[in-house]
Amino acid sequence: MCGAYHAGMSLDTLLAEAQELLPEAVRLRRTLHARPEIGLQLPFTQEQILGAIDGLRLTSVRTGEQVSSVVAVLEGDQPGPTILLRGDMDALPMPEDTGLDYASTVDGAMHACGHDTHVAMLASAARLLADRRAELAGRVVLMFQPGEEGYHGARYMLEEGLLDLGPMSDGSESPVTGAFALHISTMAPSGTVGLRGGTLLASSDTLRITVRGRGGHASAPHHALDPIPVACEIVQAMQTMITRRIDVFDPAVVTVARIQAGTTSNVIPEMASILGTIRAVSERTRTKVHDAVRRLAEGIAAAHDAAAEVEVELGYPVTVNDMGYAAFALETARELLGPDRAREMPSPIMGAEDWSYVLQQVPGAMAFLGGCPKDLDPRTAPPNHSNRVTFDEEAMATGIATYAAVALRHLGAA
């Protein structure tokens, strides 16, 4: 499979060229970091992206109808296939406590997952690729995506025709034959790249359980039907279910993040609610856990003459890297960075990604870019989604070059 993507050709100058573009990438990243936007409507971010790619002589640039996405197409001078590169755009609804000079100026919003770096890296990679237009056999689609943080932005973009590109300008067919995304992380040393074939990230579904009993006076629980101990029993039983019903080599995680009941000390409430998440690394186990949680909750409640209503809200599917494309991307990263800075990950991560929707349609891969600040230890540094997370901006040069290298190899230009 790797040979089909021209692996082994020279990528000698890409890192140096990416380093030259780093100051502008940092400027864009900091602009976005200071003005984070949440969800599917990101007008300021979209405006900054359009400005950053202006002047690259792109074949087409279109913005989303339902969401503030940007899809830009860069055509090579020769016919060939299409590769899709993704950079997600949205921030998280949380405070920032980093103390950075360019910290968020928007209350309750922070780029705590590094999507500001993804946008800046992809825009700079577009510049590298535009400078090599004459060498490209095919085209590059730049996918700037809102709403990754739980809003299904990739799915909206697919529904709006992300992959429906038609032929190239000369009329030649140019199918989308590969897709690649990077995600920065403080869990790895700065400037490293890690990925694996097969399952990379888990599915993520929201679990809601409502236990209904009968309210009463706290002094006489026998006259009431207390839903709180029933809810507690359900929570404990779900953990036992995971360790005794689920294959340890095809794992799942059920985490209860909130239990809510009652109003004061001397009242037994009528209702208790449980909120949590279900994550799995295969669709088979995902379905098995959904069914098991429902049976368990309803059965325990019934044993206490209470009732349980179980709702599982489907989130992102399992993210599965194509085996061949992951091998190609890893080989490309090793050629670009050296074997010490590009590694194969031993196991999946239980986070989730809506890049999974794209990988269900196109063979491709996601890789993790190490961005831990050099004065911190990846094992103890504030992680993504922390209110104190910071990233080493020097790592962005590696990301810029990696985006470009995968595209150039895919299209036979390196």
pLDDT at res. 6: 47
pLDDT tens digits along 218-265: 999 999 999 999 999 999 999 999 999 999 999 999 999 999 999 999
**159: pLDDT strictly greater than 70:** yes
Which residues are catalytically annotated?
316, 393
pLDDT at res. 174: 95
**109: pLDDT strictly greater than 70:** yes
Mean pLDDT of the chain: 96
pLDDT at res. 200: 98
Domain ranges of the chain: 2-202+318-410, 204-316
Phi, psi of 41 (to 5 degrees): -110, 105
pLDDT at res. 414: 58
pLDDT tens digits along 270-325: 999 999 999 999 999 999 999 999 999 999 999 999 999 999 999 999 999 999 99
Confidence of residue 412 (pLDDT cuts 50, 70, 90): confident
State percent of the chain over pLDDT 90. 96
Please tell me the pTM assigned to this model.
0.93
pLDDT at res. 7: 44
**Cα separation of 205 and 293, whole Å?**
12
pLDDT at res. 179: 98
Closest CA to 123 of 109, 140, 103: 140
Confidence of residue 8 (pLDDT cuts 50, 70, 90): very low
The HSE-up count of residue 80 (CA atoms within 13 Å, CB side) is: 25
**190: pLDDT strictly greater than 60:** yes
Mean pLDDT of 58-87: 97
CATH node for 204-316: 3.30.70.360
Mean pLDDT of 366-381: 97
In CATH, 2-202+318-410 is 3.20.20.10: no
